[in-house]
Amino acid sequence: MKHGISLLPDCRPERRSATEYYADALAMARLADEAGMHYVKMTEHYLGNYGGYSPSPLTFLAAVAAQTSRIRLMTGCVLPAFHHPIQLAAHAAMVDVLSGGRLDVGFARAWLPYEFAALGVPMDTSRDRFEKTIDAVLRLWTEEKVTAECDYFSFTDATSLPAVVQEPHPPVWGAAIVSPQSFEWLARQGMGLLVSPSLLQRDLPHTKKLIRIYLDTFRETHRGTGREPRVAVSMPLYVAPSDARAREAAIPHLLEYNNVTIEAADAWTHVTSSSYPGYESMRDRLAAVTDESLRDGACAVVGSPESVVDTIRAVTEYLHADVWLWNIDYGGQPRETMESSLRLFVDEVLPHVSD
């Protein structure tokens, strides 16, 4: 079992500046590196409080690369729909170079209508762009002269620079949330799976079924090739000396995280896309997360070190997770709570749940 930290800034600028946020995020990345954790993951979002402080995870990871020596740097995710494959392949390669081959690249389709609108990308093209751009990026990393043509880009005999450090290329992952089609596609491509369950514990059996689709499809497709599926699960973490204190500290931040997500999902109020079935009702589903529902049980690992060890073991088995990416910055929380929770995790949990 490998463990990392997963970052998605959901700060309200009036409460927490990007300057404070990034100073803290870099400090947490250094702490995770020193503790021997495996990954630091940063997301890509625009314009809104939901992740908008991080329009370029590769830029943040370049700064992390310069301040760390061992930890792997993961995008989680970059959004291919918003990039030309030549630029995306090349920027990622720069971070692979700057980090001495420590980059993992996670890709996602993007899901926020206001991002698509502002960047002038039709939402209904997102799956096709996602698949075609990833394909082109992989070719640019591994082939010497790449020619590609589709509705979104066209180039001839392109040699991507700089070359990636890792052979044949940085490990790749894809995020999937609700569509079985996405889980199958990632499996057929041989990519790792990134899953971020909703905060509602009642949704977890469905997530388990989707992971099963990924695992079955992967094993069928790649039988005998030596390739193995990889499942990385992101979930909020909070560790405190007792279960009660962990809950008291974590729940307000989880609610705030959910509120910021609801505000982002408001963009779906007057939008329907055949490419995003069910997203119109996302706002209502998120609204089912309440203080009470979180106290009754959430898809978040919150408790004393002993409880957290037990929960991680149970959920790992349930979800077939290989990698845990612990969300530690939810709710725009201050450095103090992130740091005390992460230190307790490193000192008293990690030794019991890592390889």
CB closer to a copy of itself, 103 vs 235:
103
Which amino acid is residue 22, in one-letter code? Y
In whole angstroms, the minimum distance from the beta carbon of 53 to a copy of itself comes to: 5
CB closer to a copy of itself, 2 vs 155:
155
In the chain, what is the straight-line distance between the N-terminal and C-terminal CA atoms, in Å? 5
Other beta carbons within 10 angstroms of residue 270's beta carbon come to 8
Scanning 100-203, the segments in alpha helix (DSSP H) are 113-119, 126-142, 180-189
C-alpha span between 269 and 283 (Å, rounded) = 8
CB closer to a copy of itself, 92 vs 191:
92
In whole angstroms, the minimum distance from the beta carbon of 114 to a copy of itself comes to: 9
C-alpha span between 229 and 216 (Å, rounded) = 9
In whole angstroms, the minimum distance from the beta carbon of 34 to a copy of itself comes to: 16
In whole angstroms, the minimum distance from the beta carbon of 167 to a copy of itself comes to: 13
- Look at residues 149, 171, 333 and name the one whose alpha carbon lies nearest to residue 237: 333
CB closer to a copy of itself, 214 vs 257:
257
In whole angstroms, the minimum distance from the beta carbon of 197 to a copy of itself comes to: 26
In Å, how far are 251, 305, 347, 355 from 352, measured between CA atoms? 25, 10, 10, 9
- Give the distance from CA 128 to its chain's centroid: 20
C-alpha span between 55 and 10 (Å, rounded) = 12
Binding site for a copy of itself (CB under 8 A): 13, 17-19, 21-22, 26, 46-49, 52-56, 58-60, 62-67, 82, 84, 86-87, 90-91, 93-95, 97-98, 100, 117-120, 153-156, 158-163, 165
CB closer to a copy of itself, 93 vs 172:
93
